[in-house]
Structure formats: structure tokens, C-alpha cells
Structure 1
Amino acid sequence: MSAGPASKGVVMKLYLENFKHLNKIFGYDYCEELLSQITAYLSETADGNVYRHIGVEFIIVLEQFSEGRASELGEEILERFDHVWTINGIDCLCSAQIGLCSYPGHAQTTDELLKRLDLAVSSASESGPNQLAVYDSVLHTQFMRKQAIALYLQTALENHEIEVRYRPTYNLNTGRFTRADFYMRVFIQGIGLIGAGEFLPIAEDSGQIRAIGYYALEQVGRCIAELTEAGKEFDSICMPVSPILFLQENFLDEVSRIMETYHIPAGKLALELDESALGSAYLNINIIMQELSDMGVELVLNGFGSGYTPISSILDLPVQTLKLERMFVWQLETEPRSASIFGGLIQIARDLGLHIIAEGVETENQLNALNKFGCEYQQGFYYAPTMNQDVLMKVIGTSLEESRLTIEEEKLKLKR
């Protein structure tokens, strides 16, 4: 990229998405030859303006190109990646993602340019293999929002600005709320209320997930201790865990410390992992799950039925509870086939001796359908909103009618 003020064009970043996986399958020598073939192809296609960046990333400088012309070239390159590469008579499919950013329109410095290209590649990855994304005003707004959230999170813990919430879970067998899920949210001036679903991935990228995750674990431990001391009857309090936190070297030690510090009985602490997070780390996660199970931690697998993991693999995991993919709950009223699938999944869980939770229950029709299938645990706005720990202390162990009275009383207090 030229430094002069008259210099303009588009920079393309190409990332070989599944290259590490190919390296495990075919080995170093095979993949080095694959890289050579890809480099030669890119150099020929882009007239030699191709540079290896980091690992399996390529930077292609397209001076005097418009975004439209650069996009056409990008699509041409991705079309090649739809076909096999042949190395020593052996074929493989290598998937790629491409991000584009024009300069100086969207980037004034090399550092800005690289950050915006990263964002474009990340956006392309969300759409599947062999995709292209252009850094534009929409991505710019998303980027600035992420930057603001990441900056806020740096001081949110020490300033006690992370709000802790719980959502109780209804037990159909007892007619009472006997479980609860842990949630977090933050309020950022100029942005608004941000849920954990948005800020935790940012914390993962910025390296803050460990501090925030261990803070959350501490809050859950304290909550369980206070519920126990108050003589409340409950099954467990569940904390969703990021796979990055789950695989931290000292994660097991931290869980053990929390259980000892707060004298948590076996089965009262539940840790939830999303089915989509298993992936290539399946073996390592399984080992950690086994150790957690031995410690008396209940293990919950979220997103059951989403199809990310074969049921045969789930059988090998020491989970006690499955959370159904909420899509099935939402479609119960409109898609007859969803009801059949839903019933089948509940029966599978029952046959395996596992507890099952349906989340996202919002209407009475959904409730009636779930009751028809005998779904043991149910959660959603129909039953209760998220609440702070003080309200949870009053709701846990109560019936649906009692909990609604409590929630209304708390709302009236806030209005006074």
C-alpha cells in the first residue's frame, strides 16, 4: 500500500479457515505444498500483489480498484476454493474467507486497515465457508460498538457495574421453582443495556473472559450458599460457561475453591456448556467434564437438538441435564413437525435418564404443549422474568401463583 495522498484502492484479506484441520489430517509436508499452490494461484490472479501476513492469512493490495471490481475478484477467488486442490494425487477442500476494505475511505493507517479487515473477515465467517464481506458503514458502526463495549469492560468489574440476574426454572413434577440460571448484563451510557450474549464474546476476544467468568462463578457460589443457609429447597443454580473459560488451565482449581469456600453440596452447582462449543475441543472438554462430575458439579448441555453434535457423542459426555434448542419451543404453535421432533427429543432424554429443560416459554399454548409431552423443567417469560438475587430468594421453592404475587409486590416497591 503506497503512502502518498493520491494512493487509493482496496485491500483484500484472505484467511484459510480450515487449514489447521487439514494440517492434522494430511500433515505438514502436504499442507506446505498446498500453501505453495494457493500462493501461486493468488499471485497469478492478483497480478503479484500478494503477501503472506500471519500464519494462513494473505494480504492482497489492489491499487486503483473500486470496491465493486475488488468484490468481483474476490468472488472469482472464492469460486476456486469451491473446488478441490490436488497434492501428490490426493484431493482436499480448503475453505477461505475474504474481507475487503477500501483506503483511504475507511482506513487512514495500516493499523486501522488491518483491524477493519479482521472485522470484515469475521463478518464473512458468520455466513459460512467461502464467503466475502466488505467493510462499510454498517460494519464500522458494529466495530465502534464493540470497541466501546471492550473499553467499558476493562473497568466494569472493579467499578461493580456488572449487574447480576437470575431466571428461575419451573419444575413440572413439584409445581415449584427449583432451579435458576445465572445471567449478567451491563448498562453503557450512549449504548444502553447490553446482555451477556453480546458482551461475553467481546470479552473472549479482548482477553477479559477469565476475570469476568471467575467473578460470575463467585456470585453463583455465594448465591447457592445463601439459599442453603436460608433453608430453601432447590435443585441447582446454573452458570453458563464460555468454552474459553472452560479450557483455562486453572478452571478446575477455581471451581474446587468456590465449592470449598461456600460449602456447596454436591449437585447444587450446575455449569452449562453450549453444544456448539464442543467442536474440535471435544476430547479436552470431555476430560474436564468428567473431573467436574467427580467433584459433584451438575453438567448441563445447552442447544440439544441443534445438530452440532451427534447424539452418539453426547452419550459419552457425563451430562445430567439437556437444554432443548429454544427454536423447537417457539415453533410448537406453528410447525406440527416441530412438535414431533420435540417429543422425540424429550423421549430420548428420558430413556437416557437425563433431566430436560425447555427454555423460551412465552405463551400458554407453548406451556400446554410442553405439559402434554411431560417436559420436566420449563423456563421463560411466561413463568418469570430475570430478577436480582434478593427476589430470587423469595421466589425459589414457591409455586407459580406465589411467585407471581412476589414479583408484583417487587414491582410495586420500585414504583414507590
Structure 2
Amino acid sequence: MRFERGADLLVWSLLVLNGVVVSLLSEVLRRALRRGDVDRNLLTSVVGGTSDAIYVKDLDGRYLLANGAAAGYLGRSQAEVLGRDDLAMLPVETALAITKLDGDIIASGRTQTQEEFLVNEAGERILFQSTKGPVYDASGAVVGLFGVSRDITKSKLAEERIQYLAHYDVLTGLPNRVQLDERIQHAIAQAAEGGQKLALLFLDLDHFKDINDSLGHSVGDALLMALARRLRAIMRADDMVARLGGDEFVFLLQGVDVAGLAQTAQRILDVVEETFSIEQHELTVSGSIGIALYPDDSGDLEGLVKCADAAMYRAKQNGRNRYCFFTAEIEALAVRRMQVVSALRHALEQHQLTIHYQPQFSARDGRIIGAEALLRWHHPSLGQVSPEEFIPAAEDSGLIVPIGEWVLRHAVRQMRAWLDEGMTPFVLAVNLSTVQFRHPNLPAMVAAILAEEQLPAQYLELELTESGAMHDPPAAIAVMDQLHEHGVRMAIDDFGIAYSSLSYLKKFKVYKLKIDQSFVRDISADPEDRAIVTAIIAMARGLGLRTIAEGVETQAQLDFLREHGCDEIQGYYYSKPLTAEQFGRFVQEVEPCAA
């Protein structure tokens, strides 16, 4: 900065800092530098209105000019600042750092912009962005230093916060997908150079949504934070655990072997399964892990995550709470699953779904007293897709809700048509998935369909699996109560394969237990199956509930069930699932015989 006078005109020197133009009257500064005083009124009008600190020092570091903002940061009045140096007003360490920086700038002969900290006498730590440069007199000699400093503490913290949010998960503090991507690119480069393997482990908690639904998101979030601390604690220094979102975690392990990976995966599962104490709740969860290797399975993050995710899904299919390595077979299954999900999205509109009906019979006299509606799907290129394959895909993709509503509406409509044709009334059973059952609109939707199709509720029975009911018993009770108010019957499907509390079973508004076919299959030869079936029938009778056995295929099975008091029979012994037209003919053939 140079000061001159020409043709009796004042020459303005402009200093730009972060878009702020600070104008200093050269004549005022020249006088200040020569005489050490300042025309205060003129100074106030020029620099007093800005929030940036504006100041001028002589070569000894004494302030010749300081606006109100500069004096405020120093904890002094403007009058107290003039003629004093930083050592007289700031902690020694801070003052020495500023003095050194000022000296370096003067020695360089250049104006520079840098960040610097100021700790005032109150102990406040302030970060400034300062533009400083030497001041020259008319002869070109350096006579001091000017400076303009802006407090960027808040903006810097905001910048750091933004940077943190870009690389870390807010809830758990673990690295996020962005940082994982950066880290794995570096790790892949190192592994490729050294001929080493990398492993990516994909962890997904089993049934975590049930915790959020039953206990609230605050409990779920607290569990995730506690789990993150556990996972971080068991990782080696060179390894990484990141949260992708929800209940999904990814581990990046370097320099690994297959045997060591298996041990690590099991260690992670063990840590996940340890009990959590959250807000007076003792919670136990499990997880499923998929494992993918670099370079064996893929050469980039997206590919590794895709492979590990497919392996994780396979682990869930195999029973959950286990790990699974990615294989070519899993890749084929993953491709098939994507094909199924994609095709399923168009199955309704393209009329590929049909409903078959399997008759249910009275064990006492062989009359048809009910039927179960069973969904079937035939795709033009995929062929006949089994429910065991497409129902889980529908649940995972969220398609189960519209598909379930379609099944219920068409089954109810068919039942109404049979009654209008004069068919002897019976009860039609329709299955509910756990996802459907948890949908808040279920009771209202069921009531609306019954009203629209004009079917009395007494002819509809909804089946829910035992495990579905026990995911969240209090919530299940509430939904069953609402359905009961609409006159709809509930039955527990696949009874015996999950753990049910008798105290809850008494509270469930159900009127029938369906004995799972796995107990019926070997009932003639397996003493344990016979004991289980006998106990279920006796318990149901004691609770005032009916029983129905599914999967009955032989005379011996039928005889045992009749002998021990099972009320209803369903299975290939009597009939396979039939189309609506076939079912109508079957009823006409059977009813005269039963009569």
C-alpha cells in the first residue's frame, strides 16, 4: 500500500477481503504514520462502520489505527489500543505468534492472506482470516503494516461440520459411504501393488425394524449407537467399519485369509448377539453377514458391496444369524432374485397372478367347511414361480402390500360369486404376510373390501403365521382386536414352529390354530411329532380354539388326527389347490357324497 497526494485530490487505496471493500483515506493514514495521531472523526466515518477489524501498526508493532471491531477483539477501547502493541494486550503466546507473522509479511514485501488464531485475555479462541501487507511512505520506505481481519470462527466450524457430515454417519459417528469409497479405493491400489486380498463384509441386522416399530425409534437409535461402539472396539487398526444407513454396516478388512475371515465374521455375530440394555429394555438381536473378496469377486466398491449384499441375503435365507461367502451360485440366485422382483412389479397389471383354492374338510364327517386362497404366479419367461420364491421378494421390495390387497379383494369377490351361485356357505381363509399385518391401514382396508364386495365378515378368515404374531405381541393384539370388531376371524398359521407365549395366545383374538405340515409329515413314525401334535390339539381345546392340520396326504395321518380330536383337515389326501372353476366342480362332486 502506497500513500500519495496529487493535484490536491485524495487517492483512495482499496483493500478487498471476502468481497468487502475497505476504503482508507491515504491522507489520514499518512498523517497517522507521520505524527502518530488520527483524525478520529474522519476515521470513524471511514472504517468505523465495518465489522471487520481494520488496523495499522508501526514497525515496532504499536497500533497507529484501530477501528472499533479491532479494539473489541483485543478487549480494549480504541483509545486504549492506540500506541500499544499486542504483547501489552494479549497472552504472550498469542502475541508472539502474531508478531512473528507480521514480521514475516513485512520482510516479504508482499500482501498476504492467511488464517490466524487470537486468544484474548478472556480466553476466547477466535479464528481470523487476515489480509496484511507492508505500508510504504511517499519515498517508498516501509513504515508499518496494515491489516484487515475477519472473524471466521463460526463459518469455519460450519465448514468443518459440513466436511464431517460428508464423511461420517451422524448417529453412530462411524465412517459413511463416502469415506468408505475413498478408503477402499486407496486400499485396492495398495492390495493390487502388493498382491494382497481385501475383504468386504456386509452386516444387516435381523428383524431390526420390529424394535423400531414396537419400542420406538429412540430405542432403535440407541441400540445402533451401542452396537457401533462394540464393532469399532473389535476392529484392527488398519480395518474399517462404516454404516451405510439403517441397520446396515460394512467392514473393510485388509491382508486377510479365508480362515481368518470366518473367525472375524463369527466374532462380529457374537458381538451383535450380546444383550443390549437400552432404556430399561434388555434387547437381543442377531445379524446376517455376506462376505466378498477382492480381487476374486470384484475389483471395485460397488461390485464388492453388490456381491456381499447378495451373500448376506443368502445368509438370511439359510436361517439368519450366520455368515455366507459370495459364490457363483449366489450370483446366479441374486440375478434371479432381481429378475423376479423386476417382473413382479408388472405381474398385477399384466394379469399374471391367479388364485387357487385348496378345500378344507371336517375331520368328523368329511364335509367341505372351508378353503384356503393360495396365490400363484406364471410368468411368460420365468415360468411358474413358486410362492417360496416370490413372496419373500415381494416383502423385501414392498410389493406385498398391493399384491396382498389384490389377493384379498379377488378372493372375497370369488366367495361372493360362489354364494350367489348357491354354493353351500363355508369360510374362506386368506394369508397375511407380516408386512401386511403391520400396515396401519389393514383393518380399515379389510372392512372396506368386505363392504364393497358385499360379503358378510363371517365368511372370511385371515391367517397370520405364529412368528408374525410374536414379532410384536402387543401390536398384534391391537390389530386383532380391530379385525374382531369388524367380525373377521383370525387363525394362527404354521403353529408349533415358533415360540409362542401362552399368556399372549390367550389374548390373541383367534379362533383356530393351524398345525404346521412339518409335524404332520412324519406323524405316523416320529414319536416326537405325534407328541407335539397331540399337545397342540389338547392345548387348543383347553383354550376353546379349533385346530386344522395342513399337509395331510395319507390315510394313516388322517386316522391319527381324527383319533386325537383335530377338527379340520387340509392336504393332498383330499385335494390339491384348484382354480376357481375347478373348485366349483369339485364341490358339486363332493357334496352329494358327503351328504
Match of 1:407 in 2: none
Q: Partners of 2:237 and 2:312 in 1: how far apart? A: 19
Match of 1:74 in 2: 265
Query: Which residue identity is paired with 2:539?
Result: I
Match of 1:9 in 2: 198
1:203-218 equivalences under 5 Å are 203-218=394-409
Q: 1:197 aligns with which of 358, 383, 388?
A: 388
Residue 315 of structure 2 is aligned to residue 124 of structure 1: yes
- CA-atom RMSD, angstroms? 3.2
Q: 1:170 aligns with which of 361, 370, 388?
A: 361
Contact 1:322 1:349 in 2 (8 A): yes
Contact 1:178 1:396 in 2 (8 A): no
Q: Partners of 2:263 and 2:403 in 1: how far apart? A: 43
Q: Partners of 2:413 and 2:210 in 1: how far apart? A: 41
Match of 1:396 in 2: 587
Higher relative contact order (CA 8 A, sep 6+): 1
Match of 1:413 in 2: none
- Deviation, 1:91, is 9.5
Query: Which residue identity is paired with 1:38?
Result: R
Q: Identity over the aligned pairs, expressed in percent?
A: 27
Q: 1:148–1:83: structure 2 CA closer, same or farther, 3 Å change rule?
A: closer
1:188-267 equivalences under 5 Å are 188-189=379-380, 191-267=382-458
Match of 1:40 in 2: 232
Contact 2:491 2:513 in 1 (8 A): yes
Q: Deviations over 1:164-222 (max 9, x none)?
A: 21111111234211210011121235543222232111011112111111110111111
Q: Secondary structure at the match of 1:204?
A: helix
Q: 1:144–1:37: structure 2 CA closer, same or farther, 3 Å change rule?
A: same
Contact 1:357 1:379 in 2 (8 A): yes
Contact 2:353 2:377 in 1 (8 A): yes
Q: Partners of 2:220 and 2:370 in 1: how far apart? A: 49
- Deviation, 1:107, is 3.5
Q: 1:19–1:264: structure 2 CA closer, same or farther, 3 Å change rule?
A: closer
Q: Deviations over 1:66-119 (max 9, x none)?
A: 4444334323444555767899xx998664433211234333553343233233
- Deviation, 1:314, is 1.0
Contact 2:357 2:580 in 1 (8 A): yes
Q: 1:9–1:393: structure 2 CA closer, same or farther, 3 Å change rule?
A: same
Q: Partners of 1:72 and 1:223 in 2: how far apart? A: 55
Contact 2:358 2:373 in 1 (8 A): yes
Q: 1:140–1:233: structure 2 CA closer, same or farther, 3 Å change rule?
A: same
Q: Secondary structure at the match of 2:373?
A: strand
Q: 1:284 aligns with which of 475, 478, 481?
A: 475
Q: 1:17–1:399: structure 2 CA closer, same or farther, 3 Å change rule?
A: closer
- Deviation, 1:274, is 0.4
Contact 2:373 2:411 in 1 (8 A): yes
Match of 1:314 in 2: 505
Query: Which residue identity is paired with 2:201?
Result: M
Q: Secondary structure at the match of 1:334?
A: coil
Q: Single out whichever of 160-169 and 335-344 deviates more from structure 2.
A: 335-344
1:149-188 equivalences under 5 Å are 149-188=340-379
Match of 1:414 in 2: none
- Deviation, 1:239, is 0.6
Q: Deviations over 1:299-338 (max 9, x none)?
A: 1111222242122211101111110121221121111232
Q: Single out whichever of 10-19 and 243-252 deviates more from structure 2.
A: 10-19
Contact 1:187 1:193 in 2 (8 A): yes
Q: 1:206–1:85: structure 2 CA closer, same or farther, 3 Å change rule?
A: closer
- Deviation, 1:144, is 1.3
Q: Deviations over 1:224-281 (max 9, x none)?
A: 1011101211321111011211222322222112111221123101111000112332
- Deviation, 1:50, is 2.7
1:246-395 equivalences under 5 Å are 246-395=437-586
Task: Look at both structures and tell me which one has the larger radius of gyration over its CA atoms.
Answer: 2
Q: Partners of 2:561 and 2:283 in 1: how far apart? A: 45
Q: Partners of 2:575 and 2:568 in 1: how far apart? A: 13
Query: Which residue identity is paired with 2:244?
Result: H
Aligned residues: 400
Contact 2:201 2:308 in 1 (8 A): yes
Contact 2:200 2:253 in 1 (8 A): yes
Q: Single out whichever of 34-43 and 284-293 deviates more from structure 2.
A: 34-43
Q: 1:16–1:342: structure 2 CA closer, same or farther, 3 Å change rule?
A: closer
Q: Partners of 2:382 and 2:484 in 1: how far apart? A: 40
Q: 1:191–1:83: structure 2 CA closer, same or farther, 3 Å change rule?
A: same
Q: Partners of 2:209 and 2:463 in 1: how far apart? A: 28
Q: Secondary structure at the match of 1:375?
A: coil
Q: 1:200–1:42: structure 2 CA closer, same or farther, 3 Å change rule?
A: same
Contact 2:357 2:373 in 1 (8 A): yes
Q: 1:96–1:297: structure 2 CA closer, same or farther, 3 Å change rule?
A: closer
Contact 1:175 1:400 in 2 (8 A): no
Contact 1:241 1:271 in 2 (8 A): yes
Q: Deviations over 1:335-364 (max 9, x none)?
A: 123223312221222232222110000111
Query: Which residue identity is paired with 1:10?
Result: A
Contact 2:287 2:320 in 1 (8 A): yes
Q: 1:328–1:252: structure 2 CA closer, same or farther, 3 Å change rule?
A: same
TM-score by length of 1: 0.85
Contact 1:224 1:237 in 2 (8 A): yes
Q: Partners of 1:269 and 1:198 in 2: how far apart? A: 26
Contact 1:235 1:267 in 2 (8 A): no
Q: Partners of 1:78 and 1:297 in 2: how far apart? A: 41
Q: 1:147 aligns with which of 338, 342, 360?
A: 338
Q: 1:108–1:264: structure 2 CA closer, same or farther, 3 Å change rule?
A: farther
Query: Which residue identity is paired with 1:272?
Result: E
Contact 1:184 1:196 in 2 (8 A): yes
Q: Partners of 1:139 and 1:284 in 2: how far apart? A: 36
Q: 1:383–1:401: structure 2 CA closer, same or farther, 3 Å change rule?
A: farther
Contact 1:184 1:195 in 2 (8 A): no
Q: Partners of 1:59 and 1:371 in 2: how far apart? A: 53
